[in-house]
Structures are given as C-alpha cells and as structure tokens.
C-alpha cells in the first residue's frame, strides 16, 4: 500500500483548514482585513483563484481526509447525533484517511483543532461519551498520533467544550484563553516535538475559527470598529480573521526557528464559503450552505520553497478531493489499494509551475438532502466542466 522506508528528504506537510471563511476575506484575496502572514504565504507560494470545496463543513472534511467525494465517504451532510437517514452520519470505517496512509508510510501524524466527521455527543453531558462506539470515531481512531481539540463545534471561543487531548476530556486552561490561540499553541508544541524525531510529520491544523459564535478579542474589535470599510463591515468577524492570521504566523515562525521551512509544504484553505449574515461574499452569489459560488468557492494558498515559483497566481481548478492524492505523492506514499480516489494529484502541476495540468474534465458535488438554515436548501448536484473549448 505504501513505501515504508523513511526518507529524510521527504517534506513535512502542514494542511491549514479554516472554518466558514469566505473567498475574499483575507488581504491577498482583496480584503481590507489585515492578514500579513497569509499575504506573505501567498507572496512566497501559489494562490488559486478557482478553488472549490463543499458548501458545508463536514462533507469537505470527509473528502479532504479521504480523497473521496463526500457521499462516498459516508458524510454527505453535517454530522450530528442523530445522523442522516441516507448516510451513516460519520466517516465510513472502510475509508483510508490521509493520516492512516501517511502513518503507514513513516510519517508522524498530528491534528490540532476541529474534527467533525464523527465523535459527536451532547455538549453538556460528557457521561454519554463512549470511546468504544465505532460510530463515533475520534482522530486517534483514524490514524492520528496526537490530537488536541473538539469533536465538532466548540460552543464558545473562551470556554470551548467538549475539549479533548486524544481520548481524554480536558478543561479549557482559562475562560479568558482564546480558542484560536489554544489550537495554534498546541500545534506549535506538536511541531516542536515532531522536529526531534527523524521521521517527517503531517500536521492537520483544523481551525474552529471563523465559525459562529462570532467572538473575538476586545482590542482587535475596537481597532476595526474605528475604521470605515467599503466591503467588510463586521468588526468582530474581522478581528477573528486577524487572530487566525496570527496563528498562521506562529506556525510559520516556528518552522523558521527549527530550520524546517525549506522542507515543509504548507497548504491553506477554507472548508466552505463565508456565512452570508456574517461576511460579505460579493461579487460571488450567496454563501455557506448554498450551491453557488459564494458557498463553494474558497481561497487556496500553497507554499513549497524551492519548488513553487514565489508569487504565482493560478486559475487551475482545485477541490477538496485533491489534497489526499497530492499529499500522498509529495510524501512518496502510495494510494490505498483497491480504492478509486476521486481527486487528482496536483504534485506535478506544482513542480512544473503549471506546465503539467492535472488533466481532468469535470468536478462534481452531490447533496441529496433538504435543509432549512432559515433559508431552504433542496437536493442538488453540480457539475463543473473543466473542458476549454
């Protein structure tokens, strides 16, 4: 299934996933919000202008982890306690995750933050939690060596619950400790520990930010309240974005301090489009939950020093199923045997600075559900044709 020999030249890989951030919510994509660390990441890597994920959180996470379209992975909708009749409501146990593949290939596998493809229980009743329930898998069940974070939503940025370190329920360090900072600082500790090992590492930095509730640090909110903005008029949301950018900067600084930057690939994206009542997705139509550009179009930035030409902007189509095969190829790990992967590897495209196209004709979305978000969503399918006539 994989190459088991550890090659010190294989890169470390960091995948940063933000929750509910719109396509143009960061500076390098046109926002007035200050995101110097992401802007720097884009300046040193490649930014994609035609990148897409699913319109909802859980399907994106399932496809990202498996390389399969969400309905193939068992998570076609939002994972919840009661599940969805047409699906299991959690990541299928016969799917191979990127962490499982990389772990067998000699990588250390780490996750800090939100899981949300299984492991859900009533937030205020931890007694109902059963780590032996196969329908409620946590990251350590699916190939991750170390995890700090929440099975799904955190409820509050200042008192996130339920909070886990691997299988152990823990209490937040302080009700004044901002959750975005907490997952970032724990990710840094994981990287520092991994750097002492001879094996390369994969870090899945799965932010809860900038999902509701819209909560931010008071001094950051005050800064944006004092500004007049032509586009982004939610100062608390803007402050949340800036804190998330700080977290990206903290990880990048750690790589520099540990002399790991030159041999680490960093991928940044959002799980879906921005929530319309929170952010401004214009000129894209609608937002999170909707089967339109505002719901599925997202920013993607990839930095690979010495390989990707700095400051590149690409209109090549990228989607959530592509990360699994891309990361496997970068890590020199074979894809799961006997399983068709829906995504395509972008490794050669990145290595050739766009000369070698991925070579697919279409990308698909399938959402056979009804959902009421305060607005009605009916079942839909989307076909994005990539054939240039």
SS3 221: helix
337 is catalytic: no
Instruction: Look at residues 271, 275, 207 and name the one whose alpha carbon lies nearest to residue 237.
Output: 275
| Cα–Cα distance measured from residue 272 to residue 212, given in angstroms and rounded to the nearest whole number | 14
CB 109 within 8 A of CB 143: yes
Angle subtended by helix axes 235-257 and 36-43, to nearest 10: 50
Whole-angstrom distance, CA of residue 70 vs CA of residue 75 = 5
Closest CA to 149 of 104, 209, 192: 209
Q: Is 116 noted as a catalytic residue in this protein?
A: yes
Q: Which of 28, 57, 58, 328 does the annotation list as catalytic?
A: 57
> What tokens does 329 get?
């190829």
Number of other residues whose CB lies within 10 A of the CB of residue 375? 10
Residue tagged active-site, from 116, 207, 211, 328 = 116
CA 65, CA 81: separation in Å to the nearest integer?
A: 21
Give me the sign of the Cα torsion angle 335, 106, 323, 161: positive
Q: Which residues are catalytic, by number?
A: 57, 116
């Amino acid at each position: 299934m994989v190459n088991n020999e550890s090659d010190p030249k294989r890169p470390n890989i960091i995948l940063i996933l933000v929750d509910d951030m719109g396509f143009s919510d960061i500076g390098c994509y046109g926002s007035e919000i200050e995101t110097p660390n992401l802007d720097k990441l884009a300046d040193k890597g490649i930014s994609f202008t035609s990148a897409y994920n699913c319109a909802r959180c859980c399907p994106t996470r399932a496809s990202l982890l498996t390389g399969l379209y969400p309905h193939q992975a068992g998570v076609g909708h939002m994972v919840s306690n009661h599940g969805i009749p047409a699906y299991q409501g959690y990541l299928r146990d016969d799917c191979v995750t990127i962490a499982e593949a990389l772990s067998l290939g000699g990588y250390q596998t780490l996750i800090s933050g939100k899981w949300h493809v299984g492991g859900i229980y009533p937030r205020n009743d931890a007694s109902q939690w059963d780590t032996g329930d196969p329908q409620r898998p946590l990251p350590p069940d699916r190939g991750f060596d170390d995890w700090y974070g929440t099975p799904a939503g955190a409820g509050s940025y200042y008192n996130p619950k339920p909070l886990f370190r691997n299988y152990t329920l823990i209490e937040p360090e302080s009700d004044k400790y901002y959750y975005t900072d907490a997952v970032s600082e724990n990710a840094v500790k994981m990287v520092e520990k991994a750097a002492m090992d001879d094996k390369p590492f994969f870090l899945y930095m799965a932010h809860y930010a900038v999902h509701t509730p819209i909560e931010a640090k008071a001094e950051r909110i005050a800064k944006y309240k004092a500004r007049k903005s032509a586009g982004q008029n939610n100062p608390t949301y803007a402050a949340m974005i800036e804190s998330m950018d700080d977290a990206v900067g903290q990880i990048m600084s750690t790589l520099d301090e540990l002399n790991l930057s030159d041999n680490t690939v960093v991928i940044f994206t959002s799980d879906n489009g921005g929530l319309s009542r929170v952010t401004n997705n214009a000129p894209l139509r609608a937002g999170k939950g909707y089967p339109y550009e505002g719901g599925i179009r997202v920013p993607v930035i990839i930095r690979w020093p010495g390989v990707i030409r700095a400051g590149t902007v690409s209109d090549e189509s990228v989607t959530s199923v592509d990360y699994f095969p891309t990361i496997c190829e970068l890590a020199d790990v074979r894809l799961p045997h006997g399983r068709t992967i829906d995504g395509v590897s972008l490794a050669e495209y990145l290595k050739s600075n766009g000369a070698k196209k991925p070579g697919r004709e279409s990308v698909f979305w399938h959402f056979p559900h009804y959902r009421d978000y305060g607005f009605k969503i009916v079942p839909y399918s989307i076909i994005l044709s990539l054939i240039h006539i």
